[in-house]
Amino acid sequence: MVFWIYDIGFLVLFSIFIAVFLYRNRHKLKREGILFLYRTKLGIKSIDNFASKYSGLLRRLKWVVIAVGFLLMAGILYVLGQAVYIYTAFPQITKLISAPPVAPLIPYFPKIFGLESYFPPFYFTYFIIALAIVAIFHEFSHGVFMRLFKIKIKSTGFVFLGPILGAFVEQDDKQMKKKKKSEQMAVLGAGTFANLIFAGIFFLLLIGFFYLGFSPDGFIFNGYAYSILPTVLISNISESGNYTEIYADGQTFYLDENLKRQLGQNLTNIIAYDDAPAFHSQLTGIIQEIDGEKIRNINDLQIFLAEKHPGDFVEIKTLDKGKEKIFNLELAEHPTHHGRAYLGVTVIPRQTRGIAGKFLGFFMSFKDANTYYSPNWDGDIVIFIYNLFWWVMVINLLVALFNMLPLGILDGGQFFYLGVLSLTKSEKFAKKSFKFISFLILFLFLFIMFLWLFNIL
């Protein structure tokens, strides 16, 4: 909580610094709409040296860059299509995710839109560091391929939008247009290619730092043991305090307020909680210790229970929303394994819908979703660095994808036009195709925003 204060203080100081810088250099600035451009010659020599030193490798990479550009373009169009499908077919998603489907990636957005359970904190510090890494290497790569193909770099510089800044490399447009279409496409795709490479680098850093900085420290369960009951087996239903007791096939089961909704719906089967200690004691939190023995993951819990017997009393220590809780309960007998101790907690698989959820799930698969990990040393520092790596990886990837949308203001717009022109050899058809895809994308963005607004109002 204290870091939020420091971070907001840093945001204020950084904004003041940018305002003073812009004022003192106002005669060197060029305004383009709401943006201010500050032109320099910074980095041009380094770009020339890099392009000259690795020219052989870069020329071999040309077709890889172009191929990756098309793949990223296909990927972002697929993501957009998935978003349209999800907001059309599942309008209830707006109740789970209050954030608009199209919004700038601004600092503190998980806190602003109530998405803290989906994303780590997004401090301004993370934002400015990630932005610097993304912008510098994105533009540097553009410049390297410009010089590789003998395109003059007129200037480099910074773009300002309030306290938010970016970078640019300005080529000689006349020379650019005279180059082969494949060379122009390589220049356009080079920035996103670099972002994709750096997303991979920071992903590897994220994994390495995770294994270095964290250790398993608890088992995360997300539900109580339950059974699926054929309604024909139910012999009696009665109220018991805050719950409904179900008698079926000689056993007792329970319904809470949510599960009670199944009654009276003429269902063939219903879901009911087992008669288990975890349910009766309303066990909550991350299980970290039982009778003083450390529980680091589900395997530790299974080993512990294997050594216990039905009727044994145990003391369970959990971590629930940062607070320690103690539960004393009596273990029951497993309903299907005679003589085995039974606690009655379970892990309900989380279903991810859409490419974004599957993508994040894939990249986080190096972690066990049901194991709690604690830092090996200073917790705040370890978590800060881990989340920084995560955001730099994600933002590099998002920029790589978004920048290849076939829209005129993005690299993907000219890339798409040149791609169609190369295939059809018809400038007229390429221009019409570019206009069509641009209007289609803008329409889809407006459409999903309309669906979002319609469902939240």
CATH of the domain at 311: 2.30.42.10
Considering the domain boundaries, does residue 358 fall inside one? no
For the purposes of burial, counting CB atoms within 10 Å of the CB of 374, is it exposed (0-12), middle (13-18) or buried (19 or more)? middle
Q: Would you state the pLDDT for residue 1?
A: 53
220's CB contacts (< 8 A; 6+ apart) are 286, 347, 369, 370, 371, 372
Whether residues 9 and 119 fall in one domain:
yes
Whether residues 27 and 105 fall in one domain:
yes
Considering the domain boundaries, does residue 122 fall inside one? yes
Whether residues 18 and 166 fall in one domain:
yes
Q: Is the dihedral of CA 134, 138, 144, 150 positive or negative?
A: negative
Q: Which two tokens stand for residue 164?
A: 């938010």
Whether residues 328 and 396 fall in one domain:
no
Whether residues 99 and 192 fall in one domain:
yes
Q: Would you state the pLDDT for residue 399?
A: 93
Considering the domain boundaries, does residue 22 fall inside one? yes
Name the percent of the chain in helix, strand, coil, to the closest 5.
55, 20, 25
Q: Would you state the pLDDT for residue 379?
A: 79
Q: Which two tokens stand for residue 144?
A: 């390297």
Which pLDDT band, with edges at 50, 70 and 90, does 238 fall under?
confident
| pLDDT, the chain, mean | 89
Whether residues 75 and 200 fall in one domain:
yes
Q: Is the separation of the CB atoms in 331 and 342 below 8 Å?
A: yes
Q: Distance from CA of residue 51 to its chain's centroid? A: 34
Domain boundary, last residue among 298, 328, 346: 346
Q: Would you state the pLDDT for residue 357?
A: 57
pTM of the model: 0.86
Whether residues 233 and 197 fall in one domain:
no
Q: Is the separation of the CB atoms in 331 and 341 below 8 Å?
A: yes
Whether residues 126 and 188 fall in one domain:
yes
Considering the domain boundaries, does residue 225 fall inside one? yes
Query: Rounded to 5 degrees, what are φ and ψ at 217?
Result: -145, 25
Q: Would you state the pLDDT for residue 433?
A: 94
Domain boundary, last residue among 346, 381, 405: 346
* Host H or E run for residue 374: strand 371-375
| pLDDT, tens only, 55-83 | 999 999 999 999 999 999 999 999 898 88
Domain limits at 244? 220-346
Q: How far apart, in Å, do the first and last CA atoms of the chain sit?
A: 33
Considering the domain boundaries, does residue 449 fall inside one? yes
Whether residues 253 and 386 fall in one domain:
no
Whether residues 108 and 45 fall in one domain:
yes
Of the chain, the percentage scoring pLDDT greater than 70 comes to: 94
Q: Would you state the pLDDT for residue 360?
A: 63
Q: Distance from CA of residue 264 to its chain's centroid? A: 40
* Host H or E run for residue 253: strand 251-255
- Other beta carbons less than 10 A from residue 5's beta carbon: 9
Whether residues 211 and 224 fall in one domain:
no
Considering the domain boundaries, does residue 365 fall inside one? no
Considering the domain boundaries, does residue 363 fall inside one? no
Domain boundary, last residue among 346, 381, 400: 346
Whether residues 50 and 67 fall in one domain:
yes
Q: Which of 46-55, 153-162, 394-403, 426-435 has the lowest mean pLDDT?
A: 153-162
Q: Looking only at Cα atoms, what is the longest distance across the chain? A: 86
| pLDDT, tens only, 106-151 | 888 888 887 777 788 999 999 999 999 999 999 999 999 999 999 9
Q: How many domains does the structure of the chain reveal?
A: 2
Once rounded to an integer, what is the mean pLDDT over residues 322-349? Answer: 90
Angle at 406 between CA 163 and CA 146, to 5 degrees: 70
Which pLDDT band, with edges at 50, 70 and 90, does 188 fall under?
very high
Q: Would you state the pLDDT for residue 162?
A: 63
Considering the domain boundaries, does residue 362 fall inside one? no
